[in-house]
Amino acid sequence: MQLKVTRTIPLEEVIQRVTEIERRYTENMEDIPEKFNRGLVGRDVFEDYVEWMGMVHALRAWREGEDFDYLTEDVMELEWEEFSKLTPRRLDLLDQLSRVRSESINDLAAKIGRDVKNVYMDLKKLESLGLIRLVKEGRSMVPELLVHEITFLLW
């Protein structure tokens, strides 16, 4: 099963991706568009360049004091074991996260009327798929929705 996911990429992951792309292409990244136009590099290299450029611009804006925000659209190939993690309760939990502001997992569970342990287990499964992240704030874990859109691709 494939999912097309539009999601927010956290700052740490953007820094990691930029580093990986720069490591992969030891040449000057700024030369890639010209090389692509002359047929010296393939489309995959140019797509890496476009992603790199977007992330670099987001990092520059953040360093200049703007809020950090970077979205990407990925196609995720899920094996049945991973796909089966997207139960109706977990999909509903994603929907609830888009509507309800919570200060902790306990707070979220109380607001949506579910058992804390079950909410925590569901959040951990969603985190393993990269759809949310759990951010430690003091002694609490705060769920942060990373997904803006999920499309199930059936072909």
Mean pLDDT of 145-150: 92
Letter string b/e over residues 32-58, b meaning 16 or more CB atoms within 10 A of that residue's CB: beebbeeeebeeebeebbebbeebeeb
Tell me, yes or no, whether 152 lies in a domain: no
Is the domain of 52 the same as that of 8?
Answer: yes
| Residues 119, 95 share a domain | yes
**Cα–Cα distance measured from residue 82 to residue 1, given in angstroms and rounded to the nearest whole number:** 9
| Residue showing tokens 């059936």 | 154
Same domain, yes or no: 58 and 122: no
Has residue 74 got a pLDDT over 80?
A: yes
Distance CA 58, CA 11 (A): 9
Check whether residue 128 and residue 91 sit in a common domain: yes
Distance, CA of 147 to CA of 130 (rounded, Å): 9
The last residue of a domain, from among 27, 55, 75? 75
Neighbours of 118 (CB within 10 A): 12
pLDDT at 53 over 80: yes
Identify the CATH number of the domain in which residue 118 sits. 1.10.10.10
Predicted confidence (pLDDT) at residue 150 exceeds the cutoff of 90: yes
| d(C-alpha 108, C-alpha 74), whole Å | 28
User: Which residue, of 75, 97, 123, is where some domain finishes?
Assistant: 75
pLDDT at residue 105 in the model: 96
**Residue % of the chain over a pLDDT of 90:** 75
What's the number of domains the chain is made of? 2
Whether 95 is covered by a domain: the verdict is yes
Shared domain check, 82 and 60: no
Does residue 123 lie within any of the structural domains? Answer: yes
**Beta bridge partner(s), residue 71:** 8
**29: which residues sit within 8 A by CB, 6+ positions away?**
21, 22, 49, 52, 53
Task: Judge whether 23 lies within some domain.
Answer: yes
In a domain? residue 117: yes
Residue range(s) defining the domain that contains residue 64: 2-75
Domain for residue 94, yes or no? yes
